[in-house]
Amino acid sequence: MSSVPRRRALITGISGQDGSYLAELLAAEGLELHGVVRERADGDSPNLDAVRGALTLHDGDLLERGTLRAIVAATEPQEIYHLAAPAFVPDSWAAVADTLAGIATLTAELIDAVRDHAPAAHVVVATSREIFGADAPSPQREDTPCEPSSPYGVAKLAAHQLVGLLRAHNGLHLSSAILFNHESPRRQPQFLSRKVTAAVAAISLGRQDELTLGDLEAVRDWSAARDIVRGLRLMAAAPAPGDYVFSSGVGRTVRELVDTAFACVGLDAERHLRVDQALVRPPEGSLAIGDSSRARERLRWIPEIGFEALIAEMVAADLAALQRG
């Protein structure tokens, strides 16, 4: 009796926060996993420890034209998760051309490669709530008008629109995941959530005296990265492609984040918190909160990890890392 071949999945950005959690999810489901890393050293990321035996890595600089096309042609995946992209919004102001190339142009190259080499593949492209801009009506949904307010947002909107346009034109299974803030212990340290949890861990161990931040009343919609990647999986498994917002639907202030993190180590935030007015940005025009009703209704996506549990996990991970030295 011949065995049924395993479904083959390709993940770009596999060594990052989302890519590594997604790889663990797909490996648990028994998929054949392929991932793209810039250099082989990227594959040594501890994020991939849990899936090393189930993973084939492909080296390549995706900004070099033809690299992604060659990998798609060689692997012929049934599922593609395109997560590789610049991720830190403020950096996009200093590298506009690189941001556009790494997001919009690369998405276009991927779709061309899918059309020519894997037309039956189910493709999920990670976009961002930054497509809506700072003044969008709140909460933001899939049909909310887009007016991005950063080069990063412009690039992500271009990728999002390419997905919709070429889905209709070529009949491909292309989907755009509009992701709001999502966090984990694997979040890079320059992001606010990790800046807070790492500082709280250091303060609790006596290795740091204070945490300096800007606007404590700024509101964000934070989810757990593991919940978000389950949403990506549901998108790829859906019979029909579509665009979906993934968010908690709850806005929380930076102060709430800080208070929750300090409570994890039994400390009073006010004793260790300093506000630097130079870091305070002008008030935002609207609240960056997402409405994920479509994903909940059509994909049956249900977040499982609460905000307090997420922050506690991050603080615990930062404590453990510091104690290991």
294: number of Cβ within 10 Å: 17
Nearest to 220 by CA among 244, 248, 195: 248
Candidate list 92, 128, 204, 247, residue with the active-site label:
128
131 within 8 A of 178, measured Cβ to Cβ: yes
Cβ neighbours of residue 233 under 8 Å, at least 6 residues apart? Answer: 22, 25, 26, 29
63: helix, strand or coil: coil
Which run of H or E residues covers position 58? strand 55-59
Residue 73 half-sphere exposure toward CB, CA atoms < 13 A: 9
130 classed as catalytic: yes
In 10 A of CB 90, how many CB atoms?
9
Rg (CA), the chain: 20
Q: Where are the alpha helices (DSSP H) in the chain?
A: 17-28, 67-75, 96-100, 106-117, 151-170, 192-204, 225-237, 254-263, 293-298, 307-324
Point out the catalytic residue in the list 109, 130, 183, 256: 130
Determine which one of 109, 152, 184, 247 is catalytic: 152
Kindly write down the DSSP assignment for every residue of 202-269, as one continuous string: HHHTTS---EEES-TT-EE--EEHHHHHHHHHHHHHSSS--EEEE--S--EEHHHHHHHHHHTTT--G
**Among candidate residues 258, 282, 279, the one with its CA nearest the CA of residue 268:** 258
Here the tokens at position 270 are 């006010």
**What is the set of active-site residues?**
128, 130, 152
